[in-house]
Amino acid sequence: MAEGEFALVRKYLEIALNKMASWVGEHDLYAMLADAAAQQRDESALQHYAPLAEELAARYDHKLYQAIAHRAWGVAHWLTGQHTESETLLNKALELFQQLDTRWQIGRTLFELGELALSRSENTAAHEHFSRALDAFEEIGALPDAARARQKLAAV
């Protein structure tokens, strides 16, 4: 999704939440809202949507959404300077995504681990995470994400 589109994601997902079509459940929308908040680095939205996404994903034992909620919480903790908690949750998300073989999600989570490592001035770890993210993105042809990972690698 292009960067400009992210500004509209939350608005339209919240509208959908209020209208609740029969083909979509709250767990779907809360997972998407938590994920969008993580991508936008929106602390307030993360604090609101991550617990809802986590609760419903656990209720339905939805592994993909559990991993998305873990990643959202990982970003939330990173933004508030709780790096150890962030790393734990991002690794938990990564493990679930790997079990599900969701390569784009794996790449996105590795990218977040790279961002966390950069914020801790752990350049070797950041390089490793961004490199692995790039591999995951290139494997599936996620060109915009691969370009972002290449940019980060060049800056490390």
Q: Is position 88 within any domain?
A: no
Are 32 and 67 members of one domain?
yes
CB 37 within 8 A of CB 10: yes
CB atoms within 10 A of CB 147: 12
Task: Look at residue 96 and tell me if it is in a domain.
Answer: no
Q: Is the pLDDT of residue 99 over 90?
A: yes
Do residue 2 and residue 77 come from a single domain? yes
- As a whole number of angstroms, the distance between CA 72 and CA 89 comes to 9
pTM of the model: 0.87
**Domain carrying residue 68:** 1-82
List the single range of 8-22, 55-69, 113-127 with lowest mean pLDDT. Answer: 8-22
Q: Are residues 75 and 117 in the same domain?
A: no
Residue 5, pLDDT score: 60
Domain identity same for 107 and 61: no
Statement to judge: residues 15 and 72 lie in one domain = yes
Number of structural domains in the chain: 2
pLDDT in tens, 26-73: 888 899 999 999 999 999 999 999 999 999 999 999 999 999 999 999
Kindly tell me if the per-residue pLDDT of 24 is higher than 80.
Answer: no
Residue at 70 is within a domain: yes
Assess contact for 137 and 109: CB atoms under 8 A: no
Of the candidates 43, 46, 44, 24, the one whose C-alpha atom is nearest the C-alpha of residue 33 is: 46
Does residue 84 register a pLDDT over 80?
yes
The answer to the question of residue 78 being in a domain is: yes
Torsion of CA 142, 109, 6, 155, to 10 degrees: -80
Q: Are residues 112 and 57 in the same domain?
A: no
* Confidence band, pLDDT 50/70/90 cuts, at residue 2: very low
> String of b and e for 89-122 (b: at least 16 CB within 10 Å)?
bbebbbebbeeeebbebbbbbbbbbbbbbbeeeb
Q: Where are the alpha helices (DSSP H) in 2-142?
A: 3-19, 26-40, 43-59, 63-79, 83-100, 103-119, 123-140
pLDDT averaged over every residue in the chain:
91
Give mean pLDDT, residues 78-106.
Answer: 98
Do 73 and 115 lie in one domain? The reply is: no
Q: Residue 95 domain-assigned?
A: no
Going by pLDDT thresholds of 50, 70 and 90, the confidence category of residue 9 is confident
